[in-house]
Amino acid sequence: MSMPPLNDTFQDARESSGVLNCPFQGKEVAMILRHRDVRTAAKDWQTFSSDAPFRVPIPSEEKVRSVRQLPIETDPPLHTGLRKIVEPFFRRPRDPDFRARIERLIEGLVDEAIDSSEVETVHEFALPLQSRALSYLLNLPESEAEEWINWGVHVFRDGDGPAKGAQLDSYIQTQLDRAESKPGDDFFSALTQAEFDGHRLTREEMTGFANLTFAGGRDTVINTVVGVIAYFGETPHALDELRRHPEQLKSATEEFFRILSPLTHIGRVCPNSTHVHGAQVEANERVALTWASANHDSEVFEAPNEVRLDRKPNPHVAFGFGPHNCLGAHHARAILQSLLQTLIRKIHRIEILQSIPKIEVEDRYQRQNGYEILRVRLLPISTQN
Partner 1 sequence: MPKVTLITPSKEKVILEDAIGTLMEAALDADVEGIDGDCGGVCSCSTCHVHVAPEWVERVGPPNDAEADTLEFDERTNSRSRLSCQIELKDELDGMVVEIPNSQ
- 31 touches 22 (CB < 8 A): yes
- 15 touches 39 (CB < 8 A): no
Q: Which does 155 bind (CB under 5 to 8 A by kind): partner 1, ligand HEM, none?
A: none
From 20-28, 194-202, 313-321, 341-349, give the range in contact with ligand HEM by CB under 6 A: 313-321
**3-state SS class at 73:** coil
* Least distance CB 322 / partner 1 (angstroms): 8
Q: Which does 313 bind (CB under 5 to 8 A by kind): partner 1, ligand HEM, none?
A: partner 1
- 81 touches 327 (CB < 8 A): no
318 part of the interface to ligand HEM, by CB under 6 A: yes
Binding residues for partner 1, rule: CB under 8 A, are 36, 39-40, 43, 94, 250-251, 253-254, 300, 311-317, 321-322, 329-330, 333
* Least distance CB 316 / partner 1 (angstroms): 5
- 31 touches 51 (CB < 8 A): no
Strands 199-200 and 119-120: unpaired
Q: Which does 275 bind (CB under 5 to 8 A by kind): partner 1, ligand HEM, none?
A: none
Q: Which does 330 bind (CB under 5 to 8 A by kind): partner 1, ligand HEM, none?
A: partner 1
Judged by beta carbon, residue 98 or residue 291, the one nearer ligand HEM is 291
- 10 touches 292 (CB < 8 A): yes
Q: Which does 63 bind (CB under 5 to 8 A by kind): ligand HEM, partner 1, none?
A: none
How far, rounded to the nearest angstrom, does the alpha carbon of residue 88 sit from its chain's CA centroid?
19
Rounded to 5 degrees, φ, ψ at 186 are: -95, 175
Supply the angle between the helices 127-137 and 219-234 in degrees, to the nearest 10. 130
d(CA 377, CA 348): 11
For 250: left if phi > 0, alpha if psi spans -120 to 50, otherwise beta; the answer is alpha
H helix runs in the chain, sequence order: 11-16, 35-43, 78-90, 96-115, 127-137, 145-150, 161-181, 187-193, 203-216, 219-234, 236-244, 249-260, 291-294, 329-346
233 part of the interface to ligand HEM, by CB under 6 A: no
Judged by beta carbon, residue 18 or residue 262, the one nearer ligand HEM is 262
* Least distance CB 311 / partner 1 (angstroms): 7
Supply the angle between the helices 329-346 and 249-260 in degrees, to the nearest 10. 120
Positions 241 through 260 that interact with ligand HEM (CB under 6 A): none
Q: CA angle at residue 55 from 329 to 162, to 5 degrees?
A: 90
Judged by beta carbon, residue 64 or residue 137, the one nearer partner 1 is 137
CB atoms within 10 A of CB 296: 23
128 part of the interface to ligand HEM, by CB under 6 A: no
Q: Which does 39 bind (CB under 5 to 8 A by kind): partner 1, ligand HEM, none?
A: partner 1
Judged by beta carbon, residue 114 or residue 128, the one nearer ligand HEM is 128
Judged by beta carbon, residue 134 or residue 155, the one nearer ligand HEM is 134
Q: Which does 380 bind (CB under 5 to 8 A by kind): partner 1, ligand HEM, none?
A: none
Radius of gyration in angstroms for the set of CA atoms belonging to the chain, rounded to a whole number: 21
DSSP state of 326: -
Q: Which does 266 bind (CB under 5 to 8 A by kind): ligand HEM, partner 1, none?
A: ligand HEM
* Least distance CB 58 / ligand HEM (angstroms): 11
Binding stretches for ligand HEM (CB under 6 A) = 50, 56, 71-72, 83, 134, 137, 212-213, 216-217, 220-221, 224, 262-263, 266, 291, 318-320, 324, 326-328, 331-332
